Chain A
């Protein structure tokens, strides 16, 4: 971390600054924790809070457009969070860690509706919220139904009506709910083919790269490697020696 604590003219307040690796100037990090949190919430917002608007805008456009593009490629289905039917204990934790959502969540608030939808589906409502005023018939970022999962009758009817691969026979009638017999994730893979995996990859990568952005907001630029610094120092020494003794 190329940062140091410096004293300003105001003795009551100390600044946290980072050193720019390009020109050695100081970068005022303001409140690094807040900046990191803002960069998680909206990629690049933390940098904008610090006054680094060009970098912030660059991060915002690059990461959000990658995330949205991946979401579009995957038909809006690649970002979902589901912890239903996870085995407890160590195996459960391991299974949780290999869920794509662990990476997608790092992209910030854009991925948050998935948690909300998963909570709605696993909770008393037994159906995801119809975000978008019902324009998205089967729920934006709704988790896929696992075999044996219980859902509300209204949601089962919507799925039967709007999803061409789901029929009324795919549900057992378990009043007041219905139980899904198939694996909806497998259906999505079949519907979208390789685009489902490519969309998942795009959204996961957007999230993982945002971790670098969050670190940049917290600690400033990472700076050149040790090797690069030594090379620059050696080059500067050679240049100053040549300037001091031009004859030899």
Chain B
């Protein structure tokens, strides 16, 4: 499994330059709201934080959900406050 994973990721990284110039990029720029690019980052940060605090996979999953809710909730409140301030002005 280790060899397969390493080989797959190495191939992906090595191939990545050839993936750059794709028409999909141009359509992404216009169509996907910026906020959706932040959601995977929240999930990633929660996952890494949970995985570095636990060893058991079940505990890691629970902690990931916990931190995703906390991070997402806090950032959501900040976004709501900013939107409210913008609407009030």
A54 to B54, CA, bound (A): 12
B35-61 at interface with A (beta carbon < 8 Å): 37, 40-41, 44-45, 47-49, 51-57, 59-60
Report chain A residues within 8 Å CB of B19.
72
CB-nearest residue of chain B to A198: B37
Q: Does B86 contact A (CB under 8 A)?
A: no
| Contact of B88 with A by CB under 8 A | no
Say whether B84 faces chain A, with CB atoms less than 8 Å apart: no
Report the separation of the CA atoms of residues A193 and B48 in the bound assembly, to the nearest whole angstrom.
29
B83 in contact (CB, < 8 A)? no
User: Which residues in chain B, 1-60, are within 8 Å of chain A measured between CB atoms?
Assistant: 1-2, 5-6, 9, 12-13, 16-21, 25, 28-29, 34, 37, 40-41, 44-45, 47-49, 51-57, 59-60
A198 to B38, CA, bound (A): 9
Shortest distance from the beta carbon of A198 to any chain B beta carbon, whole Å: 5
**Inter-subunit contact A68/B12 (CB<8 Å):** yes
Q: Find the A residue at minimum CB distance from B56.
A: A22
Evaluate contact between A57 and B48: CB separation under 8 angstroms. Answer: no
- Considering the complex, which residues of chain A in the window 57-86 have a beta carbon less than 8 Å from any beta carbon of chain B? 57-66, 68-69, 71-73, 75-76
**Taking CB as reference atom, which chain A residue is nearest B5?**
A57
Cβ contact within 8 Å between A23 and B17: no
Interface size on B, residues (CB 8 A): 34
What is the interface of chain B mostly: helix, strand, loop, or mixed? helix
- Whether B17 pairs with A140 at a CB distance below 8 angstroms is yes
Identify A60's interface contact among B9, B16, B18, B56, CB under 8 A: B9
A233 CB within 8 Å of chain B: no
Cβ-defined partner of A23 (8 Å) among B21, B45, B56, B57: B56
With A55-B55, A222-B53 as contacts: A205 and B21 at CB distance below 8 Å: no
With beta carbons under 8 angstroms apart, the residue of A54, A68, A212 that contacts B57 is: A54
Q: Which B residues form the contact surface with A (CB < 8 A)? A: 1-2, 5-6, 9, 12-13, 16-21, 25, 28-29, 34, 37, 40-41, 44-45, 47-49, 51-57, 59-60
The 10 closest A-B pairs by CB, nearest first: A22-B56, A76-B20, A20-B55, A216-B52, A209-B48, A212-B52, A136-B17, A222-B53, A22-B59, A140-B17
Known: A42-B6, A62-B47, A64-B13. 17 other contacts (CB 8 A): A20-B56, A21-B55, A22-B54, A45-B6, A57-B5, A61-B9, A65-B12, A73-B25, A135-B18, A136-B17, A136-B18, A193-B29, A212-B48, A213-B48, A215-B52, A221-B53, A223-B53
